[in-house]
Chain A
């Protein structure tokens, strides 16, 4: 394995930015955002340099490592803090630093009126550093540090405007739900260490060949819980919608392009475990399939543009998890969809931010309309992202989503047909709700509130959007040309024999997917473009709409099943603590006080009575001695 000494700069540069900006305080207000952007960009530069180095080496020597220091050394248990940059990590490194830098640039303008802009950039840099640590760690324990770091950054940024109580609650909700996932990850690490004796990726992979089925299944399920928490997958999905409380660049970077895909990374990185544990793999597929439908259904009912996009993110990550659960055939496609999604969804979120910027922070799409004329660049970039996500050829989403649908159909038997149909249905619903977002925002008649003066955003904001839009157009083609991404990643996952027998011919699957898209788009057009839309959300709607508006009752379920019994349990414990434990302590105190006040009565203050007592005592003592010695 090749070693390198320059990998650490990838993480160290943005981390230094976070530290400097947080320690320098108000003094850095003038130049903090520029420093943060420059450091993020230089980290991207290091990433590009590493990529060029990697390309100049033969395939089997492309992965590089760097040992930073010995972290834990207890007897035979040794953990090094080490960095592993292989073909899989470099994809993430470039996505994180590339999209991250663009979003830094966008935020310079977007946050320019916020007096805490420096703190915002410090947190963004902290996020970039943690996310890089997550994808570059060479063991589960190193990954865990980054995993917690991005959780912290996400919490800080969702609650960035924490003067609004609802936003502060949203950040807490995200943090708490993520903790459940984090617990899964720590259990997975503990099980791996206890049974396989190692926590490094290479060590676990080696030990997994001889490990028992039950062990691997247990680790796999724990990893799946971790992935579900971080990636907002069923049943831990409820935090993502509320996470939209954060500033829009945060939603674009953390809650669309990078952090929420960490779960996909975790599953793909642990491919050796899931390949050997079919039960866990089946659960991964189920979680993916359920979430992609769940997110899509929620997306159809949301009027808040950011929440509609968040539901869409959830659904798209469902596709990635589904692909990751399909085994060696799907890993590369999961990563491909992850990368293309990183481009088009980040671009669309930035577009949503641009729309909000021009509409006085209005997020209700029923109050938009006709913005195409006023924001041509936003319309164009958002539109390209839109074409990419619904999967219109030749945009990026067409290649990546089609590949996943195809792989799902090829999974074999009834399972393949069910998964494929779910993915197709998801594609149709995606086309419907994304068209709805597009039409309500840009092309339908205007339904603005008073005093709205929509205007195009400054170039600092539209430039990143334009670059991301180019990515949304071109990446799918680039990744699939000659199966380049699949071949690039194959050393990580090991060569697998390609499925020669297809359940359906490729052209038929593409045809079905396109038909689904056309159906979805047509319904949305009929409903929203060619008929009037109310500026207020209609209340006399069917029960299904109402349930979808309430996120398919996810919060009601969590509250009644977990929150209220939890609160009851807490109250019971508080009462037990108060009555039993504190009661015992208080009893000791009262006894001492009572005994004391009873004894106090013997202290009369009369010197003569003391003298009598002393006399009696002395006589008793002498009598005692006399009796004993007699």
Chain B
């Protein structure tokens, strides 16, 4: 199987993630879409690593995973805190920085 197919899958995943971030209001869903985009990026890194026959891309993918894990912890904590204080997980409600 041509490794380029992985790239098409990654492009598809990224697009789904991007559209999800833009159109969904629920913070949890938006968060999951961001994870989707991160993993799409990871997939491309690994694919190119395979195509080029080097390990660089795979190493970076590991870094991305670690960072993503940290980000989930912090991000979820923020979302839970906002939900507790405002009884809503809609990101459009959290637009206080406007003023």
Contact = CB atoms under 8 A, between A and B. Distances in A.
Interface of A: 603-608, 611-612, 615
B22 A608 contact: yes
B94 A607 contact: yes
A608 B95 CA distance: 10
Contacts of B25: 608
Contacts of B91: 606-608
Nearest to A608: B22
Size category, B interface: 10 to 19
Interface of B: 18, 21-22, 25, 30, 91-92, 94-99
A623 B6 CA distance: 22
In the A-B complex, the 7 residue pairs with the smallest Cβ-Cβ separation, listed nearest first, are: A605-B98, A605-B95, A605-B97, A607-B91, A611-B21, A606-B95, A612-B22
24 contacts: A603-B97, A603-B98, A604-B95, A604-B98, A605-B95, A605-B97, A605-B98, A605-B99, A606-B91, A606-B92, A606-B95, A607-B30, A607-B91, A607-B94, A607-B95, A608-B21, A608-B22, A608-B25, A608-B30, A608-B91, A608-B92, A611-B22, A615-B18, A615-B22
Contacts of B21: 608, 611
A300 to B, nearest CB: 82
B30 to A, nearest CB: 8
A254 B59 CA distance: 94
B60 to A, nearest CB: 19
B89 to A, nearest CB: 13
Contacts of A606: 91-92, 95, 98
A611 B21 CA distance: 7
Nearest to A607: B91
A607 B97 CA distance: 10
Given A608-B92, A611-B22, 9 more contacts: A603-B98, A605-B95, A605-B97, A606-B91, A606-B95, A606-B98, A607-B95, A608-B21, A608-B22
Contacts of B92: 606-608
A529 to B, nearest CB: 93
B22 A605 contact: no
Contacts of B30: 607-608
B96 A605 contact: yes
Contacts of A605: 95-99
Contacts of A603: 97-98
A606 B98 CA distance: 8
A604 B94 CA distance: 11
Contacts of A607: 30, 91-92, 94-95
B95 to A, nearest CB: 4
Contacts of A612: 22
A611 to B, nearest CB: 5
Contacts of A611: 21-22
A612 B98 CA distance: 17
Contacts of B96: 605
Nearest to B91: A607
Nearest to B95: A605
A526 to B, nearest CB: 95
A605 B91 CA distance: 10
A179 B49 CA distance: 86
A519 to B, nearest CB: 95
Contacts of B22: 608, 611-612, 615
A611 B99 CA distance: 19
A605 B96 CA distance: 6
Nearest to B96: A605
A494 to B, nearest CB: 90
A138 B21 CA distance: 89
A474 B84 CA distance: 110
A606 B25 CA distance: 10
Nearest to B99: A605
Contacts of A604: 95, 98
Contacts of A608: 21-22, 25, 30, 91-92
Contacts of B97: 603, 605
A94 to B, nearest CB: 84
Contacts of B95: 604-607
Residue among A604, A607, A612, A615 with the most chain B CB within 10 A?
A607
A606 B95 CA distance: 5
A611 B25 CA distance: 12
